[in-house]
Amino acid sequence: MRSKDRKIDYSLKLCREVLGLPAFHFGYFEGEHNLTIEDLKSAQLKYTEKLLSYIPSEVATILDVGCGTGISTEILISKGADVECMSPDLYNRQIINEKFKGAVKFHLTKFEEFFAEKKYDLILMSESSQYISLKNLFEKCNSILNKDGYLLISDYFRNQATGYYRNCAVLSRFLYEAEKNGFKIVRDEDITENVLPTLLIGDIYYRKFVIPITEAVVSLAHDEIPIITKMAKFFFKRKIKKIAEDIHNKNPEKLNPEKFRQNLRYMIYLFKKDIA
């Protein structure tokens, strides 16, 4: 793939190397819990166990799209599955290669640009479907799945076409495109309430660390390199304003559990390719 399309997921890098989280995705909470990083670690592992429980026993070959740190891949391999990983992210590739010592095939590419050398029994997408256009998503899945293959998607979807979490598909549109492309729902589950504590924990640590650290860095720049800081403000005024808006308003808004509950649904869908 072109070098300009390659990137590094710094959010994942921060969560993994600084906070010690196993992954950068929501956790699945059940029963009593505290709002700590340790609770989120446990909830993230429960999330993975929950998701993988949807995989039918007859599935043997799996493509893990947006594989992250390879937690799902590791569990699936331990159960005898033949798994390949995919991501356009250089940090993901580094983690997968280090974890599996090159034993797991890694595709450094976007899903829509992937050239498959074989077909798979199941395609797994854990919070990665939102980065792929619906047209490309289902058409590509159709082309690389076996005739009776499965598509397992876990992600959050907007109830309506609003600006809140606008990168996410509108649920009704998502389901329409799935059906139009011949994917039938085998099993589904709404786990919105189970993932919401993730946002509360995120909000606590965001306000405790991210905002103060950002403000400290800005203050340090003002004191130590005032001329460069003034020049940056002049030439990148709009960009800096957008970043400040994201840090102080948009990001905290996205970490609001009540607003998330009102506008989105977090769903798990197991689809089967319709061969009729």
Single pTM value for the model: 0.85
CA distance 170 to 178: 12
242 and 177 Cβ atoms separated by less than 8 Å: no
Dihedral, 164, 167, 168, 173 alpha carbons, nearest 10: 100
Q: What is the pLDDT along the chain (276 residues), one digit of tens a residue?
A: 444 455 655 565 566 556 666 666 889 999 878 888 889 889 999 999 999 999 999 999 999 999 988 899 999 999 999 999 999 989 889 989 999 998 999 999 999 999 999 999 999 999 999 999 998 999 999 999 999 999 999 999 999 999 888 889 999 999 999 999 999 999 999 999 999 999 998 888 777 767 666 666 666 666 677 676 665 555 555 664 565 555 556 666 888 999 999 999 999 999 998 865
